[in-house]
Chains A and B, each alone.
Chain A
Amino acid sequence: MNYENIEILFVEDSADDAMLTIRALKKSGFTNKLHHVSDGAEALDFIYCRGIYETRNFSDHPKLILLDLKMPKVSGLQVLEKVKADPDLHSIPIVMLTSSNEGPDIERCYALGANSYIVKPVDSDKFFHAIKEIGMYWMVLSQSGN
Chain B
Amino acid sequence: MENDDSSELIIANKAIDFQNKEKELRAGELIVANKELVYQNVEKEKRAQELVIANVELDFQHKEKELRAAELVVANKELVFQNNEKEKRAQELVVANEELAFQNKEKELRAAELIVANKELVFQNEEKEKRAQELVIANEELAFQNREKELRAAELIVANKELLFQNEEKEKRAQELAIANQELAFQNSEKEKRAKELITANEDLKQAEDDIRKLNDELEQKVIERTAQLESVNKELESFSYSVSHDLRAPIRAIDGYTKIIAEDYAEKFDEDGVKILQSIINNSKKMGLLIDDLLAFSKLGRKQVAFSDIDMMGLVASVQEDLLFDEDDNVPKFNIDALPDAKGDKALIKQVWINLISNAIKYSKYKEKTTVHIGAYIQDNRTVYTIRDEGAGFDMAYYDKLFGVFQRLHSQAEFEGTGIGLAIVQKIVARHYGTVWAESKVDEGTCFYFSLPSITN
Which A residues are within 8 Å of any B CB, using their own CB? 14, 16-17, 20, 23, 99-100, 102, 120-125, 127
Contact = CB atoms under 8 A, between A and B. Distances in A.
B346 interface: no
A123 B289 contact: yes
Contacts of A125: 260
A122 B253 contact: yes
A72 to B, nearest CB: 14
A118 B285 CA distance: 21
B257 interface: yes
Interface of B: 242, 246-247, 249-254, 256-261, 285-286, 288-290, 292-293, 296, 300
Given A122-B286, A122-B289, A123-B289, A99 B250 contact: yes
Shortest Cβ-Cβ A-B pairs, 5 listed = A122-B289, A16-B254, A124-B257, A20-B257, A124-B256
A132 to B, nearest CB: 14
A123 B288 CA distance: 10
12 contacts: A16-B257, A17-B250, A23-B261, A99-B250, A102-B296, A121-B253, A122-B285, A122-B290, A123-B289, A124-B253, A124-B259, A127-B257
B246 A100 contact: yes
A122 B246 contact: no
B246 A120 contact: no
Contact of B254 (A20, A121, A123): A20
Contacts of B288: 122
A14 B257 contact: no
Contacts of B246: 99-100, 102
A20 B55 CA distance: 162
A145 to B, nearest CB: 32
B419 to A, nearest CB: 13
A102 B295 CA distance: 13
Given A20-B257, A23-B261, A102-B242, A123 B249 contact: no
A57 to B, nearest CB: 35
B50 to A, nearest CB: 127
Nearest to B288: A122
Nearest to A120: B253
A121 B289 CA distance: 9
Nearest to A14: B250
Nearest to B251: A16
Contacts of B256: 122-124
A102 B286 contact: no
A122 B293 contact: yes
Contact of A20 (B242, B253, B285, B289): B253
A68 to B, nearest CB: 11
A54 to B, nearest CB: 33
A99 B249 contact: yes
B18 to A, nearest CB: 140
Contacts of B260: 124-125
Contacts of B250: 14, 16-17, 99
A16 B257 CA distance: 9
B206 to A, nearest CB: 56
Given A122-B286, A125-B260, A102 B249 contact: no
A100 B257 contact: no
Contacts of B290: 122
A137 B418 CA distance: 34
B149 to A, nearest CB: 101
Nearest to B289: A122
Given A16-B254, A100-B296, A102-B300, A120 B249 contact: yes
A95 B97 CA distance: 122
A48 to B, nearest CB: 29
B453 to A, nearest CB: 28
A102 B249 CA distance: 13
Contacts of B254: 14, 16-17, 20
A127 B259 CA distance: 14
Nearest to B285: A122
A84 B69 CA distance: 129
> Which has the most chain A C-beta neighbours within 10 Å: B242, B250, B253?
B253
A23 B265 CA distance: 12
Contacts of A23: 261
Nearest to A100: B246
A98 to B, nearest CB: 10
> Which has the most chain B C-beta neighbours within 10 Å: A14, A20, A127?
A20
Contacts of B252: 122
A22 B449 CA distance: 48
B249 A127 contact: no
A125 B249 CA distance: 15
Contacts of A102: 242, 246, 296, 300
Contacts of A121: 253, 289
B256 to A, nearest CB: 5
Contacts of B285: 122
Nearest to A98: B246
